[in-house]
Amino acid sequence: MGIIQAASKPLKPPCIPCPEGYVPGNPGTFEELHKKVKDLYPPIFEGAKLRVKRYYNDEFYMIHSLTLSSMTPSGYKFGTCYTGSKRVGRVERYPVIMGKLMPSGNLATTIAHTFGCRLRVKHVNQIGNRKFEASSSTVEYRSDEATFSVTLDNPDFAKCTGTLVIHYLQALSNRLTAGTELAFHRSQLIPGGQDSLIALALRYSTGAQTFSATVGNAGLHICYHHKASQQLQLGVELETKLSNHDSSAGIFYQLDVPHADMVFRGMVNTKLTVGGVLEKKLYPVPDSSLILSVTLNHGTQNFQVGIGLNVG
């Protein structure tokens, strides 16, 4: 009888009911404006890396990392992540609580949660030398066709210093998105005590091709992503900073070889750097891969090689 009653009991909905199918739809966040090109960046490293990820259940896992390098700080890193069962959309789950302990003893934590299916909050802290070294708090609201967020970085209310960043992104059609960024920075180290930045953003995507750009008094950032086939993706990036009159450009690509379970990401930029990362899945160990990294700077003749192993 108890089994029959348990079976007839209505199940709790797995996610929060949110409207779907709207045109043009939510454009995402301002940080994701150049995401398609950034995802092509090869994760270049030097030395040896070992990363073990262990799931204890569907909501909690731990990451153990060991790095041996002559270029970056070496040592053991420990990370944890808890993801709640509250679902928003198809892939997002809340709350999210993450922590990472660095070899230097510094601790980085991230807490993210959602209220309903539109309002999200996020707080990031970095602790070092027994005090808060950096913090960032974000409140984000997503409507059917726009995203609005406010971020406060490193506030010091006693000295009235910190950085306030406002982002707004509006979907004008199912292909075109426009937005703006406003940043206000107060510090005793800045002449006049404060500074402000403004930038305009634009993204046009057909699915296979995506063009994105941000233009402001800080500089210019342009990206172009092209999915040539199911196996090949190409990306071009141009960035110019007006503060130091520095410009750089790069070409990135990703080649997927499904029958060999391999993914190769490569890059070449105007700083005369050529690099690539090859990731090969290993069987029969599930979710494990061997990673090889190579980079060469033709200007400085600096050559670096890295080998890594991911388990889990």
Residue 34 sits in a domain of what CATH number?
A: 2.40.160.10
pLDDT value at residue 245: 84
Q: Is residue 1 part of a domain?
A: no
Q: Is residue 255 part of a domain?
A: yes
Q: Is residue 249 part of a domain?
A: yes
Pairing of strands 75-88, 15-16: parallel
pLDDT value at residue 23: 54
Residues 235, 249 contacting (CB under 8 angstroms): no
CA separation, residue 28 to residues 25, 98, 169, 179 (Å):
9, 22, 8, 11
Total count of domains within the chain: 1
> What domain range is 249 assigned to?
23-311
Residue 87, SS3? Answer: strand
Q: For residue 245, how many other CB atoms are within 10 A of its CB?
A: 8
CA separation, residue 267 to residues 48, 211, 247 (Å):
21, 19, 17
Q: Is residue 65 part of a domain?
A: yes
Cα dihedral sign, 128-129-132-134: negative
Residues 164, 139 contacting (CB under 8 angstroms): no
Q: Is residue 9 part of a domain?
A: no
pLDDT in tens, 287-296: 899 999 999 9
The structure tokens listed for 156 are 């010091």
Beta bridge partner(s), residue 178: 170, 202
Q: Which residues of the chain have pLDDT under 70?
A: 1-23
Q: Is residue 264 part of a domain?
A: yes
Can you give the pTM of this predicted structure? 0.85
pLDDT in tens, 46-73: 999 999 999 999 899 999 999 999 888 8
